[in-house]
Structure 1
Amino acid sequence: MPADTLVVACPHCHTRNRIPRARLREAPVCGHCHKPLFPGAPFALDAGSFDAHALKSDLPLLVDFWAPWCGPCRMMAPAYEQAAAQLTPDCLLAKVDTEAQPALGSRFGVRSIPTLVLFAGGREIARQSGAMPAQAIVQWVRGQLPA
């Protein structure tokens, strides 16, 4: 695939879309469901949709492994939303509820929550545990990604 074209999975229907790199900031929509590819907010992933976004998409993906009963997770949720607005479309942000999707937490060796895992190029490139404010999330992600 040419370097000027990226494959991006739709956060709504999980269909993979080819997007010219030059048009990432033009609010592209999914060719299948016609919804925005970059909602500017975190989206939920489950075992069936995870690989399309984390391993088969050309854009980096930050995943928040969390649980509804976790106080720090709930405290960090608004900051994670703010970080998504700042990082999209350079990096997409998703959430995995480890209570509803225990196999994903186990697959990636998540031992404490919240845990942020950054994927790029189809592999995990960085991990951070513990709640963080929005600006710290943004700085951490930008520090991990190649320029």
Structure 2
Amino acid sequence: MNESIRIVCPACDATNRVPAARRGEGPRCGACKAALFQARPVALSEKRFRHHLRNSDIPLLVDFWASWCGPCRAMAPAFEAAAAQLEPRMRLVKVSTEEAASLATELAIRSIPTLALFAGGREVARQPGAMPLRGIIDWAEGAATSA
């Protein structure tokens, strides 16, 4: 049985069906031909976040951040590096709480940076505060396993 999963393109937001066993083989978007995994976080607006959440079968690891936040800026390189290690098991995304204030309010993001893991369209884990690379990876993998 060759089960497929839905993966949303980070470039054009098209939903792609990819055989689950082949997601680590560098799949490309059927619409725009961009790589579906680019080893870096994807910056999403509220509208794009909701689209990815609804249409993706892989977990989303979200960094809720703000441009004025020192700890957010300090953690950004570690989050960037984590994408290369966690993809294609999960998609790493960044959501600015300044640009998506209503989403941050809806999700009760009370401090930044905050990492949240979403799977199956719902939040399954949350961790406030800046973390180093190894902390991000260990927390994300542990949260995904227990989800």
TM-score (norm 2): 0.95
Q: Which residue of 2 aligns with 1:26?
A: 25
Q: Which residue of 1 aligns with 2:34?
A: 35
Please give the per-residue CA displacement for 1:42-96, whole angstroms capped at 9, x wherever unaligned: 0111122112222321000100000000000000000001111100000110000
Aligned counterparts, 1:101-116, within 5 A:
101-116=100-115
Q: Which residue of 2 aligns with 1:146?
A: 145
SS in structure 1 of the partner of residue 40 of structure 2: coil
Q: In 2, are the aligned partners of 1:67 and 1:113 still within 8 Å (CA)?
A: yes
Moved more, 123-132 or 95-104: 95-104
Q: Which residue of 2 aligns with 1:69?
A: 68
Structure 1 residue 12, shift from structure 2 partner: 1.0
**Structure number with higher helix proportion:** 2
1:141 corresponds to which letter in structure 2?
A: A
CA RMSD after TM alignment: 1.4
Which segments of 5 or more consecutive residues in structure 2 lack a partner in the other structure?
Answer: none
Q: Which residue of 2 aligns with 1:87?
A: 86
Q: In 2, are the aligned partners of 1:16 and 1:52 still within 8 Å (CA)?
A: no
Counterpart Cα distance in 2 of 1:63 and 1:55: 14
2:46 corresponds to which letter in structure 1?
A: A
Structure 1 residue 3, shift from structure 2 partner: 7.1
Identity across the alignment (%): 52
Please give the per-residue CA displacement for 1:7-63, whole angstroms capped at 9, x wherever unaligned: 011111111100001111111111111101101100111122112222321000100
Q: Which residue of 1 aligns with 2:97?
A: 98
Counterpart Cα distance in 2 of 1:128 and 1:87: 17
Q: How many aligned residue pairs are there?
A: 146
Which segments of 5 or more consecutive residues in structure 1 lack a partner in the other structure?
Answer: none
Counterpart Cα distance in 1 of 2:59 and 2:112: 21
Counterpart Cα distance in 1 of 2:8 and 2:103: 18
1:125 and 2:124 are equivalent in the alignment: yes
Structure 1 residue 4, shift from structure 2 partner: 1.5
Q: 1:6 to 1:72 in 2, by over 3 A?
A: same
1:53 and 2:52 are equivalent in the alignment: yes
1:15 and 2:35 are equivalent in the alignment: no
